[in-house]
Structure 1
Amino acid sequence: MAMIQAMRQERRLRSEFGKINDEHKNAMMKSVRLNSLMLRSAVYSVYLIGLIMILSFFGIQSFGGVVQIGVLYAFVNYLNRFFDPINQIMQQLTLFQQAMVSAERVFGLLDDDRLAPVQQGMEAPAVKNGRVEFRNVTFSYDGKTDVLKNISFVAEPGETVALVGHTGSGKSSIINLLMRFYPVGRGGIYIDEEPLKAFSDEELRRKLGLVLQDSFLFVGDVTDNIRLSHHQVTDKEVEKAAEFVQADRFIEKLPRKYHEPVGERGATFSSGQRQLLSFARTMALNPKILVLDEATANVDTETEEAIQAALKKMREGRTTIAIAHRLSTIQDADQILVLHHGEIVERGTHQSLLREKGLYFNMYQLQHGKGRLNESLAR
């Protein structure tokens, strides 16, 4: 609603809603008319025809002799009992049709074969060291246009690999494939020399920690948001994770501390505080591989220093793959991959890429200006 009002689209949206609402009303009225014609009226008409036939039969029989009233009443009563279930079934037909449509949508989603396949028939391996390797990975969302083309790189255990590039260059697609949100098209992704599809979903979600650009907080309290349904995580481990990412500094200042209520989407917290809680949520499971999707993009300056310190501690001893728009946040990365139109066009450290004076050089120059660039080159 706020976005609609900000863009002054109330009239257009009201018109679109009115059109959809009219279509829904017309469809419902048509359904009511069909139900009124086909349900009670149709069944009752058949019932009357049956009643006429029975009365006619016994009327004709009465010419040859007396027909007992009890026999006639029994047949009419049988006729009523026969049509009552049919009438009830027909009255439930509308609900049955609606349920069929709903079930078709639900089962269509559950049966969607576009989910990443899991290798069957063998024991699922475990993520031990966290070595990540992409081997000639090519991927397309629609089957026509390749968004990734022959992506190959290796992230050794404990190393940090940064992905940089313009919007639409394929950075998030690499993360989506690593998290197995989509199946790999061509090529392969390997963790500890095992194919990605060999791992179970539970193992991947437990050993791969994902921190998104826009962190989401749920209704509950601080502890519930850090634990996030992982009941094996104790309160002490929750506090330890918060302390590890330096989120305990603001949590201890809250009136109820770790039991402070959290509203929908964490509206009462700043963007930096929400991000620190998402860091603590990730570290509570102690993942082997850390995936950062521009985790510092929506951070206020007040907590930026704390977040940078938390990120540095989180990356120690873990394989880290980070998407970065601000190049200053990944200068200490072991390897920087520069993507352009789905291809890796440059790779190396921060200083080596600056000396090449290629795409990374131009991006750094745009973000930091020539003065700071010359200082960086001098170092």
Structure 2
Amino acid sequence: MLDLTKLARQMQGLSEHLTTEAALSRQRIELAQQFLTRAYESQKELIERQEKWRDRINFANATPVEPLETCVDIPVPPKVHTVIATDGSQIAPNHHEIAYCYLLNIGRVVLHYGQNRHPLLDSLPEVFYRPEDLYMSRQWGIRTEEWMGYRRTASEAVVLAELACGVKVNDSPARVPTLAMVDGSLIYWFLEQLPMDARDRILPPILAAWEQMREAQIPLMGYLSAARNVEGMNFLRLLACPHSVPDCKSYCPNQLEKVPCKKFESLRDTSLWAMQLKPGQRGPLWRSNTPILELYGEQIIYFCYVHVGTEIARIEIPAWVAENSQMLDESLGLMLAQVQKGCGYPVAIAEAHNQAVVRGGDKTRFFALLERQMIKAGIRNVGTSFKEARKRGSIA
């Protein structure tokens, strides 16, 4: 039980710290705006330096593919359109439960607007209990709980492609604008730390699903709320570098220490673009340069920041969407309409989460169903461990 009386004594120090950080943040934003204005004039030279010295730069940075001063009004979406989304949840394996297994639940949502068609709102559960599912990842030093999360990411992409292609087949002869959305980034940073064999079981199904959507000409979009990315701010670090060339490996090998180009430390991209964009506008397109994208083949990820009215959202799209200006504008219009319908967050993604989430009662019913099946199969002494049973009750 949380002792609020003791906790309250620490709140004063926390509030003072946040006040100080807010003042420092305002100073960093003002400095960043000055560097951004300077970068307007030298954008081409900065990109040339970035490309020439990319192997010697030690921090993640992105490349702007449009002028940095770009502020584009997002067009109004058509009344007739379709939005698709998936999201996942899980029940983690637990040695104290009646059986060691895990469950993935993928929420599916298809919303048709202006078409007089019923929406799809359901979920696809899948139980994993075979030894190869439970213990295979340990050969790579990956815990089963972590591996479960990676499998869930792949399943979300596969189910999304199946929904998108199914909608395309069932569409009327007239083209219906359609958008496929996922919650979070399309850049799977966790892949960097995985061994090649483990990576090959996660990434190829995702890329194959994206390719299906590309062939069906259904745009894919990752929506990041409260994004913490700094790739755009790090581009400005090239301008702040005091050395003749941005050779980090020679001049500043340890990026954890104080380095002269870190003038906007802890300042996120969203903080700067909040000062540049008006509601309903997007900033310039950027191409991400993170090393993991070398494994994506032609599916390079681009992103932009959009003022959706309630916040600055980071929007990620694959190259085939970014390079089609009509598809990009249409997709952003559908996304903005989703945010407005969802009172600040895309309604399709929120509903996909609601369909996927496994609540306490669902978990109890899942293990009750499993227990009945085990008893029916003739397995005796079915039950939770004494530790788990004791934790579920209290003498207090």
Where on the TM-score scale, by shorter chain, does this alignment land: which range?
under 0.3
* TM-score, with structure 2 as normaliser: 0.23
Bigger relative contact order, structure 1 or 2 (CA pairs below 8 A, ≥6 apart): 2
Higher gyration radius (CA): 1
